[in-house]
Structure formats: structure tokens, C-alpha cells
Chains A and B, each alone.
Chain A
Amino acid sequence: MGWQKKILRVNLTEGTCISEPLDMGWANEYLGQRGLATKYLVEEVDPKVDPLSPENKLIFATGPLTGTPASTGARYSVITKGALTGAIACSNSGGYFGAELKFAGWDMIIFEGCAEKPVYLYINDDQAELLPADDLWGKSVWETDEILHRVHQDPQLRISAIGRAGEKGVLYACIVNDLHRAAGRSGVGAVMGSKNLKAVAVRGTKGVRVADPERFLKVVAEKKQVLAENAVTGQGLPAYGTQVLMNVINELGALPTRNARDVQFEGASRISGEAMHEPRGSEQKPNLVTNQACFGCTIACGRISRIDKGHYTVVNRPEYWGASGGLEYENAWSLGADCGVEDLDALTWANFVCNEQGLDPISFGATLAAAMELYETGVITDEDTGGIALKFGSAEALTSMVQQVANGEGFGRELALGSRRLCEKYGHPELSMTVKGQEFPAYDPRGIQGMGLTYATSNRGACHLRSYTVSSEVLGIPEKTDPLVTDGKPALVKAFQDVTATVDASGLCLFSTFAWSLEDIQPQIDAACEGDWSLDRLLEMGERIWNLERQFNIAAGFTGKDDRLPKRLVSEPVKSGPAKGLVNQLDKMLPEYYQLRGWDEGGVPREETLERLGL
């Protein structure tokens, strides 16, 4: 158990909702969530399909530990072919929606086809129906959430929705649940919008059963104690959140600044986790109101923030005066350092709008940063921008553009393309800080070498959450490695990739691994699920998932030539900090990585590798 053993197949073209048994043969090979949903996608979708066509499918998937008492068991993922990348997309979110879906008795929902008119899916335990969403179309995520709670008169309804960005086909639109948790990357919201699907509203009352309740509760209690006693998960993350990294990475000289022209930002401390604790502005209150946990989480790293009422972004806009989802490190970096903006309230407001309208702040900020560089070099002009000066450091440019992108207005329509397409359109593809079309996040691979290989080989395009070697190279978890060298990094990246795939497949949060190793997670899976879930089996499964994703991408047309970094990162030496003079040495790492993976020189899995993994 752990699984509900039931999936909901929703055909939007025909308007049907059909219950199907979960394929337990596949569940035994791929566990759940990221792994199992990828298996369904690979089996059912032609990898060459247009991501925004009805032939693409959109899968909301939980893991066997989602909705159980296991700490951090809140996660669900959205799996599809990504609108931004054309590669496999798997965007993971917390909050309460995933657990609620599980409580309603479903492991996953598979959306196929395209609705003729806007609809939303309403699930009340076994009952599932598509309802008209004409009145919701054009509304924000926040308005949709409020209206659906009112319509269904159920305060415990959990809602996952797209905002205007997803409706308008912004290529990095995300799907937001519980107002400010997001399946953020690769444009999964654009795929949802292309299907005329506005929202999923779910209420579940069934709970989740596990295979060995007594053993499960005992091991879960033990492992919660590990999280509580660990200084990172017990103290550091709840107090400062991910944003504590701003000063660390800046000090380290690996904070991509002004579209990665620099690696240290003079305003870093003013937009850091520490700054969120400082009284400021007209009210002399701190930005941070409190921390917040997702379902079942005993870490509680989430940030709840408010904007100073005297700040220009919210004067006469009381709808933004309340507390809402605050800055995570990646967002503070993309909206802040990467655009050279050091106004904490402006960043917080832009982040609010990203949540409200369903935009991925990483891709939005990084795309704006590329546009700022194009503007400063005279390629983009005031005529293009409607007179808005896209200068690095301009908070006004940031807050104007986030609105324009969300509303599909003005130069926002260009920024909605994402960095790669924007830079290609203006004749400077080399200024796009992307891999496989996706903007890379807040770690410069010239100062943290392993992250270069991480970005280059990530199956969903540049991403830190596919193998977070920062943990080892910067923080010393599980053991310290030197961020400036390449030796040992291929093996490190592969190990992180495989373990991460397993953690994602379980329904637990990756952040648990700051304290837990797979040895801590394995007994929780083993007690919850039928069968013998040994450590070796789980590790092999992670590798299987990685290769299955890779195969999807190869069939979609990607090759080893797409395992590349932006030219700047491999040819422009860093100007300051410990990495001064260095570029990323991807060429030194990639061949060894392919070899360790059992792939040929072109990055294609060898026959014996596929056979060993049962692919």
C-alpha cells in the first residue's frame, strides 16, 4: 500500500472522467510520482508531439508517501512535455494539494486532449467531474482560489490552478496550488492552459493506508527526531529558509549577477534571508512574518512575507497588503541579483505577482536579465519596450515587466518567450543563460564546477533540483568537496541525480536530505509499501528513472550536443572572488559522466545499460 492503486483519467476533448486501476507492475519499477508518471507519459505520448497540442498529456502525480505521516510527505509533481523546453518536464510542488488528492483516493490524474471551452476539474473523493470555467478564465490564481472556495462552500477544498500567464501561453507559466506553492518550471502551466483547463479543486476524506502501520509509525517517529535534531533542518531552514544562501553564495563568488556578467552582487546582503528579518520602510516592520510548513512537514522552511505599505508597489493596492508567500533563494536571486535589483519590497511584490498570475520567477527574472543586457548594449531599444528603460538595477523595470508578462501586454509579450527565444529573436543567442531552453538558477558554474555538469545534463533543462551538488561543494552535506575543481564531480553528479529521482518518486521533499540519507528514507518506503524495498532496489530505480527521462528526450530529438552550457560560462573567466580567472570546465567532466552512466560518446544509453535497468 502507500498507493491508492487508482488513477483518474480525464479526457478533456470528450469531457469524461474515468477511474482506472494503477499499473502495479509499473509501480514496482518506478515507485510513484516523478518515476511512475514518467513511465505513463513515455508509454502514452509521442515524444515528438507539440507540447501545446491536444496530443500532449498532463499528469498530476503523488508518491506512495504523499499524504502519510512521514515528515515532508506533501509532494506532488506535474509531468508533461515542457512548453519551454520541448523536453520531459517534471515540476514538483508542496503545500496541501498533493496530500488532499491522495486523501480523495487517487494516486494520479492524467489529463488528455483539449476542452472546447474552459473547464475545471472538481474531485470530491470518488466523484470527479469537469465543470465550466468560463467565469474563471481571465482570473488570477488567487481569485480562482477564492471563487472556487465560495462556489463549493468548502473551506477545506485544495486548489491547483493557472493564472493569466498559463491562459496566455507564457512559455514559463507555472501551476500554483494553495495560493503560493508551485509546480514551477518548464512551462507546465502553459500546457495546462493550452488544454483549456483552469484548475483542479479537490476534497478528500479517505486517508492513506500503509502496508505495515506499526512499523511505519515507529520509523516515521524516529526519522522525525533526526530532522528535529539536525542543525540544518531543525534550526537553520525554519529560521532563515533557503534565502540564507544569498550571502553564502555571494561570498563564495558564485552568485550570477546581471545576467551572469558578474558573480558577486554588491546588494546581496540587502535582499538576503537576514535582511528579511530586519525592520524597514515606513512601518519599521520586518519583511518576514513567519515561516510555514507544507503538509506533514516538520522542517517548515516556507517564507510568509508582507510588503511595507508605504512601498510604491502597493500604495493604494490593499490587495497586496496581506501576508503571502515570500522570497525563496532562487526567486530573490532571479528577480534581484540577476537583474541587479536590491529593493527587497520590489522583489517581494514581483514574487507575489508571479504566484498570483502563475509565472515561474526563475525563468521570468533570468529572461528579464537577458533583456536588460540586450537593452544596455543597445540591441533592444525604448521603442521596443514602450519607453521603459530596462536598466540593470531598475526596480521599476522589474515591477512593470512582471505585470506586462502576466497580462500579455507590451514588451511583456516578448519576455513571455523565455530567454532563449528572446535572445535568438534579437540575434544574440549567446546572451541566453539557458540549457535545453530553460534558464539556469542561482549558482554560477564557474564558481561551483559540479553545477555546470548538473545544468548541462539535467533532463528538464537547466535546474538545480536534479542534482544539488551545492550540498556537497558548498555546505559539506554529506561530505565537503572543493567547488573549484572538477575531479570526482561526474560521480558526484550521477549519485545526486539518482538519489534525487528516488526521493522525488517517493513523495517526500528533497530538503529532507539535508538531514536524511537514503538509508533514512528507505525504511519509511519499505514499511509503507508492499514488497521488499531494499536500498539497492531504490538506487537502481533512481538510475532507471534518469535513463527513462533521457530516452524520452532522445526520442524528442535531443542529443549529446544539447548537454551544453551557455558560451559565457565556458569562455568568460570570472572577474572576482575565489573563482577569479576560472570558467566552467564542462568538457573535462562530460565524457567521464557519460562513461559512468553507461552511455556512448554521444550521450546515448548503451544497449547493456538499458538491459541492466530493465528498459
Chain B
Amino acid sequence: MPVTFKLYASLMVYLPPEAKRHAVTLEVPEGTAPIQLLERYGVPLADVHLLLVNGVFLPPSQRHRPLEAGDTLAVWPAVAGG
């Protein structure tokens, strides 16, 4: 199934070369969870702070919840602004 995987700020270095800017569209097996994508691309979990699935916050306890076809997973390290 297709999912869009986005990494931002200091995590951008973990994107594969085919990524455009922050994002890459991937074909993944059904049942793939956010945590598996992070592990596949070697994103250090200690640096992962903010996860949004289709713009909605995903608590750490739900990172094993499978994604659905067409979902967008966006990930940031600890950031803030104002």
C-alpha cells in the first residue's frame, strides 16, 4: 500500500536519496506501523519527538498502530518556536 513518509529538521538526513525535499512516497506491506518505518530508515528513536499521521498527533504508545493506505506520516525531533 502507498504511504507518504516525511522527515523534518535534523531528521531529514535519514530520508532515502529518492526523497523530494522532506517527503518520499513508499510502497509498504499492509499492517506497516510508524515504528517500523522509523527503524527501516535508521531514524534514532531517541531523537523522535513529534509524530503526526495525516496531521494528527500520534502518542508514543500508538507508534505500533498500523498505517492505512494513503496515510502521511510526518516526524520531527524536539522543536519549538513562537
- Bin chain B's interface residue count: 20 to 34
User: Is A247's beta carbon under 8 Å from chain B?
Assistant: yes
Chain B residues with Cβ under 8 A from A464's Cβ? 82
B54 within 8 A of A: yes
| Residues in B neighbouring A240, C-beta threshold 8 A | 9-10, 79
Name the distance in Å between A139's Cβ and chain B's nearest Cβ: 31
**How does the 8 Å CB contact mask read for A262-283 relative to B, with 1 for contact and 0 for none?**
0000000100011000000000
Residue B78 lies at the interface, judged by CB distance under 8 Å to chain A: yes
Pick the interface stretch among A58-66, A165-173, A375-383, A473-481.
A473-481
Instruction: Determine how close the nearest CB of chain A comes to the CB of B61; give it in whole angstroms.
Output: 12
Distance of A273 Cα from B12 Cα, bound (Å): 12
Chain A contact residues (Cβ within 8 angstroms of B): what range? 35 or more
Cα(A122)–Cα(B6), bound, Å: 53
A236 within 8 A of B: yes
Smallest beta-carbon distance A516→chain B, Å: 13
- B49 CB–A CB distance under 8 Å: yes
Contacts of A251 in B (CB 8 A): 6, 52, 55, 72, 74
Please measure, in the bound complex, the distance between the C-alpha atom of A148 and the C-alpha atom of B43, giving whole angstroms.
52
Contact, CB under 8 Å: A235 / B78: yes
Whether B81 is near chain A, meaning CB under 8 Å from some CB there, is yes
Within 8 A of A (CB), among B27-69: 47, 49-50, 52, 54-57, 59
Instruction: Give the chain A neighbours of B74 by CB distance below 8 A.
Output: 247, 251
Q: Mark A243-258, 1 if CB is under 8 A from B, else 0.
A: 1110110011100000
B55 with A577: CB separation less than 8 A: yes
Contact status A247-B10, CB under 8 Å: no
Residue A242, interface by CB 8 Å: yes
Contact A239 B81 (CB under 8 A): no
Q: Give Cα A235–Cα B54 distance, bound, in whole angstroms.
A: 26
Q: How far is the CB of B71 from chain A (nearest CB, A)?
A: 13
Closest B-chain residue to A230, C-beta based?
Answer: B78
Interface: B77 (CB within 8 A): yes
A248-B56 in contact given A242-B81, A274-B12, A475-B50 (Cβ < 8 Å): no
How many angstroms between the C-alpha atoms of A475 and B78 in the bound complex? 8
Cα distance A247–B78 when bound, in Å? 14
Measured CB to CB, the closest approach of chain B to A250, in angstroms, equals 9
Given the known inter-chain contacts A236-B9, A273-B9, please indicate yes or no for A244 contacting B55, CB distance below 8 A. no
Task: Give the A-B pair count, Cβ closer than 8 A.
Answer: 94
Which of B22, B54, B56, B82 has a CB less than 8 Å from the CB of A269? B22
- Known contacts A236-B77, A273-B9; A242 and B82 CB within 8 A of each other: yes
Contacts A251-B55, A274-B22, A577-B55 given; does A245 touch B79 at CB 8 Å = yes
Min CB distance, B32 to chain A, in Å? 20
* A245 x B50 contact (CB < 8 A): no
B46 nearest CB neighbor, chain A only: A231
A83: B residues at CB distance < 8 A: none
Query: Are A480 and B79 in contact (CB-based, < 8 A)?
Result: no
In the bound assembly, the distance between CA atoms of A465 and B81 in angstroms comes to 11
CB contact under 8 A between A480 and B59, given known A273-B9, A274-B22, A578-B54:
yes
A274–B13 alpha-carbon span in the complex (Å): 12
Provide the bound-state CA to CA distance between A370 and B78, in Å. Answer: 34
A42 to B24, CA, bound (A): 56
Cα of A231 to Cα of B11 in the assembled complex, Å: 13
User: Is B82 touching A465 in the complex (CB atoms < 8 A)?
Assistant: yes
Residue of B nearest to A252 (CB): B55
| CB of B35 to closest CB in A, whole Å | 18
Known: A248-B50, A273-B9. A237 touches B80 (CB 8 A): yes
In Å, the complex CA distance between A329 and B81 comes to: 7
Q: Does the CB pair A244–B81 fall under 8 Å?
A: yes
Chain B residues within an 8 Å CB radius of A239: 9-10
A31 at the interface (CB under 8 A from B): no
Task: With CB as the reference atom, state the residue of chain A lying closest to B20.
Answer: A269
A389 on the interface (CB 8 Å rule)? Answer: no
Q: Indicate with 1 or 0, residue by residue over A325-367, a CB within 8 angstroms of chain B CB atoms.
A: 0001110000000000000000000000000000000000000
- Interface pair A231/B55, CB less than 8 Å apart: no
B48 to chain A, nearest CB (A): 11
Contact of A236 among B6, B52, B55, B78 (CB under 8 A): B78
Q: A475-B50, A578-B54 are in contact. Are A236 and B8 (CB under 8 A)?
A: no
How far apart sit A230 and B79, CA to CA, in the bound complex (Å)? 10
- Given known pairs A269-B21, A329-B82, A468-B82, the reply for A248 and B8 (CB within 8 Å) is yes
Are the C-beta atoms of A231 and B78 separated by less than 8 Å?
Answer: yes
B49, A245: Cβ atoms under 8 Å? Answer: no
Alpha-carbon gap, A241 to B10, bound state (A): 12
**What residues on B are CB-neighbors of A40 within 8 Å?**
none
User: When chains A and B are docked, how far (Å) is the Cα of A240 from the Cα of B77?
Assistant: 11
Residue of B10, B12, B47, B72 with most partner-chain A CB within 10 A: B10
Q: How far is the CB of B62 from chain A (nearest CB, A)?
A: 12
By the criterion CB–CB under 8 Å, are B82 and A231 in contact? no
A208-236 near B? 1/0 per residue, CB < 8 Å: 00000000000000000000001110011
A231-B77, A236-B10, A330-B82 are known; give 16 further A-B pairs, CB within 8 A.
Answer: A232-B78, A232-B79, A235-B10, A236-B79, A240-B10, A240-B79, A242-B82, A245-B81, A248-B52, A252-B55, A274-B12, A470-B82, A477-B80, A482-B57, A514-B80, A578-B56
A-B contact pairs, 12 of them (CB 8 A): A235-B77, A237-B79, A240-B10, A241-B81, A247-B22, A248-B50, A251-B55, A252-B55, A274-B12, A475-B80, A510-B82, A511-B80
Top-6 shortest CB links A-B: A231-B78, A242-B81, A245-B81, A578-B55, A236-B79, A244-B79
